[in-house]
Amino acid sequence: MSNEKTLSKLKKLLALARQGEGGEKDNAERMLNKLMSKHGITLEDLGDETEETNRYEFKYLNKYEEKLLFQIVAMVRNKKGTSYFQNVGARSRLEIELTFSQKCEIDLAYELLKPSMYSVFDDAFSALIHVNHIFPETQSSDKEEKPLSPEERQKLMRISGIMMGIEKTPLTKQLKG
């Protein structure tokens, strides 16, 4: 796609993302973020210099996603501390006053960093299990050992690095018998 065609398409998506309704608006925002990321284009490149702000809703599942969201908001807004709105009874949802470009940047970063965060959690959990030897003492050797793939080797190296920073938790058996 030529640069002019790309910019034209992105400007149309931007207009739809701002003025569309419901799913149409959401899809336009998603496509806009994807194409801007793919082509390395910012909202400023599209001539979007308006600083109008609106309340935008963000959803999260747990305290870690909430913390990640606040960190990203602080990064995008380049300031610590964010005022937000949370309706009574509306857990796991908050609204933040932002410009449209800030909202798009937060959406993109949040969707990219969330899977990375869970991957780190998975590695840390594996490291905790290994440091504390939380597995059966006897391992059955019924399975034929096969060589590790490069991805599996890389994961084991990450887990080994995390293990170095974890202290073993002393587990003493309380019951005899």
Residue 128 has pLDDT above 80, yes or no: yes
- Domains of the chain, by residue range, sit at 1-49
Give the percent of the chain with pLDDT over 90. 38
Range 115-135 burial, b when 16+ CB lie within 10 A, else e: eeeeeeeebbebbbebbeeee
Name the β-bridge partners of 85.
Answer: 95
**What is the tens place of the pLDDT at every residue in 84-115?**
766 666 678 888 888 888 898 999 999 999 99
pLDDT, the chain, mean: 84
The CA-based angle 155-159-162, given to 5 degrees, is: 145
Q: Which of 112, 98, 116 is nearest to 43 (CA)?
A: 98
C-alpha 77: how far from chain center: 17
Residue 39 has pLDDT above 90, yes or no: no
pTM attached to this predicted model: 0.64
| Residue 30 structure tokens | 């998603």
Q: Which of 22-31, 103-112, 137-146 has the highest mean pLDDT?
A: 103-112
